Chain A
Amino acid sequence: MTAPSPTARPPGVRPRWLLAAPVLVTVAALIVVPYVNILVMSFRVPSTTKPYLPGFTFGNYTKALADPDFFYFELLFDTLRLALTITFLCLVVAYPVAFHLARTTSRWKGVLYALVLSPLLVGVVIRSFGWIILLANNGLINQSLKAWGMAPLPLMYNEFGVVLALVHVFLPFMILPLMGAIQGIDPRLEEAARSLGAGPAKVFWRVLFPLSMPGVQSGCILVFVLSCGAYVTPALLGAGRVHTMTTEVITLLDQFLWPFGAALALILSVVGLAAVAIYARLSGRLMRGLA
């Protein structure tokens, strides 16, 4: 009997990678290949009558980034600005809730947790719809204002409405990681800081917030990425008057300008991912500095 080779398998044991095969095939066929395809597509020559004309070009990218009146450049900038605003607002609004949820000993904790989760069970369309009923020109708020003899406010068809609704849509994605991070912080650390003479504000900025950075980071990245790619809410609450990269890309698709749409979509993803990477670097340094 020779020494068994390390790769030999006992008889009757099926190769384990068979377990991985279905997901790998699916992801390869429905993610990897289509994304490579869209990359190739973005270098095609656009046409309004068929998917694309023969030949390859950088034209889609130069048009998007070096267009003389900077239309798409500004659009990209607006999209990122909107995403940043939403991320920041989500962080500010989510933090107290996450803190409360992480620390409460109330017997309602389960119910409160379910309340945070439950909006996720309701589709984005429906949640946007709720905001439309509230914010529309003849919506609940403006009708009430009118009834009380006040001038109606422009609440929808502008960035305000879009940001408000998106903050609502993405809030759970901020609360959950924050809560996880805060739960991992020993409450005695806060007490220790208090005993050392730090006031509540100091305790927050010097102890709680730095220690919750991992949660802040995951929450912010998640919300930022989701905001960059949001389509339904801007389309419904912006109703053609708030433009983002995604609404523009869909419009281009309707006009059959696929290669150009592909280029725009890829630019948005790359810029979004780059922003995330920079942010992760920065906050990584911050975390190390405070650790």
Chain B
Amino acid sequence: MTKLKLDGLQKHYGTVAAVKGIDLDVAEGELVSLLGPSGCGKTTTLRCVAGFELPTGGRITFDGNEVTMLPPERRDIGMVFQNYALFPHMTVRENLRFGLEMRKVDAASMERRVADVLGMVQLTSMETRYPRQLSGGQQQRVALARALVIEPKLLLLDEPLANLDAKLRDEMRFFIRSLQKRVGITTLYVTHDQAEAMVMSDRIVVMFDGLIHQVGGARDIYDRPATRQVASFIGLSNFVTGRVAGRDGSLWRLETSFGTISCGAGIAPGAGSPATAMVRPEAIDLSAAPVAGAFPGRVSERFFLGNLVDYRITMSDGTLLQVQQPATAAFAPGDEVHATLPAERAWLVRDDAA
């Protein structure tokens, strides 16, 4: 098992900076996803690790051994491509043997390893088929098997589920994750689907515009986003701006134009400086009667979402909050309500826009 380390990795295409210097450590056997909007540099990062792109700065090490300038065939990686890239002129079996032949594995172990991996991906009966004779999901599993059969140091996947339909995508998430755990291989997984990243990863790396904004578990990223972009990329959020009034232990007081709220923070803003707090719509409580620490507002719109009701609440100063409540609670547009923003669910984010 292998540790992967990126140190100040940069990739420029002419004047375009695709990756602007990222540091990342991936532990042995860990599955880390790279998550971010289109064009943020996920694929570029992955391709640098694979050796298909040469970084213009920084270094990449596997278990402390520098591989930055090594050609891909000498890195010992397994890669799954978005379009699978199965060799169309080879059968499933020949596809799987390809990497083993490159490693000059002897015939007997080759047979055994191919059979083992085919069993793992449940494709034993499809050995002699050509890729075009397989369904999308089966091709996907062959691609996975081909990457795993060589027992690489590192497994790299670039949006491997993007070409599958929704139901199959759900199944494959769990399939890939459990296989990865069983094999125990260090894995870098690129996706722009937040649900996929949350379900599958030990840790998620959230990237914007060539930079890492946050690295953390699904909970961290959802409840304690580092930046405004992270918060708005993942799930729904309200942003409340104001001035830092002071600090009570681990909580900060933020003076907003509808009242002062308390919130947690991963940053340490100076007293009096402007700041932005993030509150998830489902974290806000609504009540008809005044409650201590709640702020008055008025329901301006209401949408029924099945399991939830989605409200737009106009606060006393005109701030609009999105609030989601279980469908049992019932307020009508125009109702006076009192909104509680619980301190443990409000979080100060870095806001470069503010």
Residue of B nearest to A5 (CB): B56
B324 to chain A, nearest CB (A): 43
Whether the Cβ atoms of A6 and B56 lie closer than 8 Å is: yes
Say yes or no for B152: interface residue by CB 8 A criterion: no
Whether the Cβ atoms of B71 and A13 lie closer than 8 Å is: yes
Find A1's partner among B51, B56, B66 (CB 8 Å cutoff). Answer: B66
Residue of A nearest to B67 (CB): A10
Contacts of B27 in A (CB 8 A): none
Say yes or no for B59: interface residue by CB 8 A criterion: yes
Whether the Cβ atoms of A1 and B59 lie closer than 8 Å is: yes
Contacts of A4 in B (CB 8 A): 54-57, 59, 68-69
Residue of B nearest to A10 (CB): B71
Binary flags per residue of B64-83, CB closer than 8 Å to A gives 1, else 0:
00101111001000000000
Find A8's partner among B51, B54, B66 (CB 8 Å cutoff). Answer: B54
Say yes or no for A201: interface residue by CB 8 A criterion: no
A101 to chain B, nearest CB (A): 28
Contacts of A18 in B (CB 8 A): none
Whether the Cβ atoms of A8 and B12 lie closer than 8 Å is: no
Contacts of A12 in B (CB 8 A): 71, 74
Say yes or no for A147: interface residue by CB 8 A criterion: no
Say yes or no for B274: interface residue by CB 8 A criterion: no
A-B contact pairs, 12 of them (CB 8 A): A3-B8, A3-B57, A3-B58, A4-B56, A4-B57, A4-B69, A6-B54, A6-B56, A8-B69, A10-B70, A11-B71, A13-B71
**Alpha-carbon gap, A240 to B195, bound state (A):** 80
Contacts of A8 in B (CB 8 A): 54, 69
Find A10's partner among B12, B54, B57, B58 (CB 8 Å cutoff). Answer: B54
Contacts of A1 in B (CB 8 A): 59, 66, 68
Residue of A nearest to B55 (CB): A4
Residue of A nearest to B56 (CB): A6
Binary flags per residue of B237-277, CB closer than 8 Å to A gives 1, else 0:
00000000000000000000000000000000000000000
**Alpha-carbon gap, A9 to B51, bound state (A):** 11
Chain A facing B: main interface SS? loop
Q: How large is the interface on A (under 10, 10 to 19, 20 to 34, 35 or more residues)?
A: 10 to 19
Find B12's partner among A6, A9, A11, A13 (CB 8 Å cutoff). Answer: A6
Contacts of A13 in B (CB 8 A): 71
**Alpha-carbon gap, A10 to B54, bound state (A):** 8
**Alpha-carbon gap, A11 to B54, bound state (A):** 12
Residue of A nearest to B66 (CB): A1
**Alpha-carbon gap, A141 to B59, bound state (A):** 81
Q: Can you add 17 more A-B contacts, CB < 8 Å, to A3-B8, A6-B12?
A: A1-B66, A1-B68, A3-B57, A3-B59, A4-B55, A4-B57, A4-B59, A4-B68, A4-B69, A8-B54, A8-B69, A9-B54, A10-B51, A10-B70, A10-B71, A11-B69, A12-B71
Which of A6, A8, A11, A13 has the most CB atoms of chain B within a 10 A radius of its CB? A6
**Alpha-carbon gap, A161 to B247, bound state (A):** 99
A158 to chain B, nearest CB (A): 56
A279 to chain B, nearest CB (A): 35
**Alpha-carbon gap, A6 to B69, bound state (A):** 10
B305 to chain A, nearest CB (A): 38
**Alpha-carbon gap, A117 to B68, bound state (A):** 52
**Alpha-carbon gap, A276 to B143, bound state (A):** 50
Residue of B nearest to A7 (CB): B54
Contacts of B51 in A (CB 8 A): 10
**Alpha-carbon gap, A84 to B51, bound state (A):** 55
Whether the Cβ atoms of A10 and B69 lie closer than 8 Å is: yes
A6 to chain B, nearest CB (A): 5
**Alpha-carbon gap, A8 to B70, bound state (A):** 11
Residue of B nearest to A2 (CB): B59
**Alpha-carbon gap, A106 to B192, bound state (A):** 45
**Alpha-carbon gap, A275 to B58, bound state (A):** 54
**Alpha-carbon gap, A10 to B57, bound state (A):** 14
Binary flags per residue of A1-36, CB closer than 8 Å to B gives 1, else 0:
101101011111100000000000000000000000
Residue of A nearest to B58 (CB): A3
B174 to chain A, nearest CB (A): 37
**Alpha-carbon gap, A9 to B58, bound state (A):** 15
**Alpha-carbon gap, A124 to B54, bound state (A):** 51
Contacts of B59 in A (CB 8 A): 1, 3-4
Contacts of B55 in A (CB 8 A): 4
Which 4 pairs from chain A and chain B are nearest by CB?
A: A10-B71, A6-B56, A3-B57, A10-B69
Contacts of A6 in B (CB 8 A): 12, 54, 56
Residue of A nearest to B70 (CB): A10
Binary flags per residue of B1-43, CB closer than 8 Å to A gives 1, else 0:
0000000100010000000000000000000000000000000
Residue of A nearest to B59 (CB): A1
**Alpha-carbon gap, A10 to B69, bound state (A):** 5
**Alpha-carbon gap, A10 to B56, bound state (A):** 13
Residue of A nearest to B51 (CB): A10
**Alpha-carbon gap, A13 to B70, bound state (A):** 10
